[in-house]
Chains A and B, each alone.
Chain A
């Protein structure tokens, strides 16, 4: 079993739909990242959070430390949101000072016009 699990693995949505991607982890963490990877390969860091909720534009990320679960929400989805979304955690066991991450397998999102 992976230490970081994401669901769904693949998601197809219609433009305008509200989208939720889930991430569960089994290790103690100091922070959780949501990343976006476009087809060209480059990765953009969307959020880093250790508690509560963060919002940036149409994107919202939440985390429940007790349940070891995080969600990424996209409101009013658009075809340009099509990408792979990756959840990554910084495990306490790895030593927070090194910022080493454990990655989920990603969620491939396709938003159709």
Chain B
């Protein structure tokens, strides 16, 4: 059973068309939830860490939010350079330090 599920698997947007990516998780207690951006052939680049429900973080056109069961990565007025795969990872409270990764959402923003 997957602990971290990301949806949709792929998303195509027009430049300026805002949308949201979802990460749902099923751990019994959350220590931290992480969002990464990964460009083809490169390592994941850290974006945000969220620790408790209600927490929000922003960076340029991206805003991450967290509830007790899921996190959203909101992309406002995306640009073609926002095209990448966005990964979500969850670290369980009381467990090891090793996060569980989702399969990612592949985002393509057309000009």
A and B bind: no
Task: Please give the residue numbers on chain A whose beta carbons come within 8 Å of chain B beta carbons, in ascending order.
Answer: none
Task: Please give the residue numbers on chain B whose beta carbons come within 8 Å of chain A beta carbons, in ascending order.
Answer: none
